Amino acid sequence: MSFTDDNRLIEACLRFDRKAQKALYEKYKKTWFLCCLRYAANKAEAEDMLQDAAMAIFSDLATYDARRGAFSTWSHRVVVHAALRYIRKWRPIDSLTDPESSALFQEDESESVYEKMGAKELLDMVQNLPTGYRLVFNLYVLEGFKHAEIAEKLNISVNTSKTQLLKAKRMLRKKLEALLQKDCP
């Protein structure tokens, strides 16, 4: 059986067609895994997140409505939420509530430093951020959530979200500058 159209593939999955389920998983697993990698501290943790996300996708597949958007968009949101659930369950998010989070937030002007970085280097650096920094950075920069949405999802204040993003960017910038200095003669 050949599946080229997501909607036909999803319909078959809803009829518990194992080949269709495998085909849907195989089609999207790389994209889902890359999303998990952004939230995980390492590859093994990303694999666990992917497993949780895949279970959530197949469990909630009946709630997907093709009239409201593409399956890829819907499944990406499910993966993000599964990654956040995994982190809440297995790791305390201590770094989200630091004493400096009430400081006034100032927008960071120098964004061009990220443009010089390759995807692999950025992923490695993001994975090495403290949990709170990594979550806020991913949700804001990569997923497009607003600070109010992040605050609600992570049960933190808007100022904490803004501060964590600022600190994540600063930390990433320092790492990138060190990498660039190392590469320059």
Q: What is the CATH number of the domain that holds 131?
A: 1.10.10.10
Assess if residue 141 is contained within a domain: yes
Q: How many domains does the chain have?
A: 2
Assess if residue 1 is contained within a domain: no
108 and 36 together in one domain? no
43 and 103 together in one domain? no
Q: Are 87 and 151 in contact (CB under 8 A)?
A: no
163 and 176 together in one domain? yes
138 and 68 together in one domain? no
106 and 85 together in one domain? no
Residue 47's Cα: distance from chain center in Å?
13
35 and 78 together in one domain? yes
Domain C-terminal end among 55, 90, 125: 90
Assess if residue 73 is contained within a domain: yes
**Full domain range(s) for residue 133:** 95-183
- What's residue 36's pLDDT? 93
Q: Which residue is listed with tokens 């991913």?
A: 138
Q: What is the value of pTM for the model shown?
A: 0.69
114 and 166 together in one domain? yes
Assess if residue 68 is contained within a domain: yes
Per-residue pLDDT of 16-74, as tens digits, reads: 999 999 999 999 999 999 999 989 888 999 999 999 999 999 999 999 998 899 999 99
61 and 106 together in one domain? no
Per-residue pLDDT of 102-155, as tens digits, reads: 333 344 444 444 455 566 767 788 888 998 999 999 999 888 999 999 999 898
- Residues of the chain with pLDDT > 70: what percent? 78
